[in-house]
Structure 1
Amino acid sequence: MLYGYAHAIGVGAMTTINVALASLLVAVVLGLVAAMCKSASNRVLNTIASLYTSLARSAPDFVWLLFLYYGGQAALNYAVNKISPGRSIEIDSYMASVIILGAVYGGYVAETFRGAILSVPAGQLEAGYAFGLRKRTVLFRILYPQMMRFAIPGLSNNWLALVKASAITSMVSLNELVFLSTAAGRATHHILLFFCVAGAVYLALTSVSLWILRRLNMKFSLGVREVIL
């Protein structure tokens, strides 16, 4: 089946999922921190977060990826050699992909979270403080559960875009779906077949993702009108 490359395609699909999930985790953490900083009254935090989101969205993903994988690694090793001669730090293709995709999409996730935070009525937070709740309790018991209802539709788009953007990691020779599909197509001279298989795998991933996200949306939208993704 698939000229003996079915296993390779499966390995590539699992690598794609792995990279996408790891990058999403980084993006959510960075995005949530940046959103809270941009929503804060502290000018320094606001400026730093705004600068981060602007830089993250200012250039194509593959430009940042190549910058880190080649230029960033050379600069890092130069600095390490200055401190400890003879030592070096290697940033492999997987690490570079997760860092860049996570950081870039963290900028988009930050705006999604910021919009969700602003959608929660300020009076509910003030009511929590009026009842004597601590700030941490207000955040985790009042703000975050309600903001997720507004954030999930935007996060759904971010996730789907991230899954497809993982294809650029083939540029740094990561053994993901597109890289292995291209290699199999060239080896068998059936490039169109393997690109169609890769497209079908992406379609399956996005379809399953949408089903899971709709279930999450229903959970966080109990008692309110459902938001159609």
Structure 2
Amino acid sequence: TISGKVSDTFKDLKNPKPKKQISNKRVYEDRYLMRYFKYALVVLVCVAIIFVVWYSIVASKTPSDGKDFNDNKTPTVEGNNDKGVQDTDDNNDKKDDDKDKKDNDNDKKDDGETNKAVEITKNGSLNYSFKLKPGQETFKFKVEFVGRSWCRLNVNGAEYEGFKSGIYNDANKSNSLDAAPETVELEFNAGDFQNLELTFGYFMGHRFYINDTLLEVDPSEYSGGRKTLEITQVK
């Protein structure tokens, strides 16, 4: 029995058992974590490549410091723009000055039109009528006494309390026509005013204004005698 078993054992040794076939599967087939790690690694590499390319493009457009521009002797756009802006500011200032001047001229023109918003008609020797523009509620009457003269004012047929009867420009005792005048200015309500009569004891060189519009007096009318100025409002 022992001999038979030994004999069988030697037979088994002489006839080697066939090797098991190894499956031709990948080593990492069942290792899911390693597979995802490879994918993640590939993605990181791609992102790194893209970042390097982008940084290279940006770095090529941006100077590392300001020496490149400072060393460049070619006139820069910045300098030209400064000059252009300065010129533009000067032009704007000039336009603003012109506009202000034009506005001032218009204001003066408007003031002149307001002051001269009156139509004056000479009816005869020291006899005038005037008509105000619509909307004017008041008007001014001004007298410049050149010669030394006594004077009295009647308004609407009665002596006007706002005017003192007496001697005006008493300093011009020689009655020089070049003497500085004594000025009296009165303001009347246009709705109430009808007419006025200004009587002079000595009529020489006097001047009269309605809203700063001069009444034309012929030199022959300055006789040096007693005279009466008549002014009537036409409505």
The TM-score bracket by the shorter chain reads under 0.3
Structure 1 length normalisation: TM-score? Answer: 0.18
Higher strand share goes to which structure?
2
| Bigger Rg over Cα | 2
The structure where helix makes up a greater share of residues is 1
TM-score norm. by structure 2 comes to 0.18
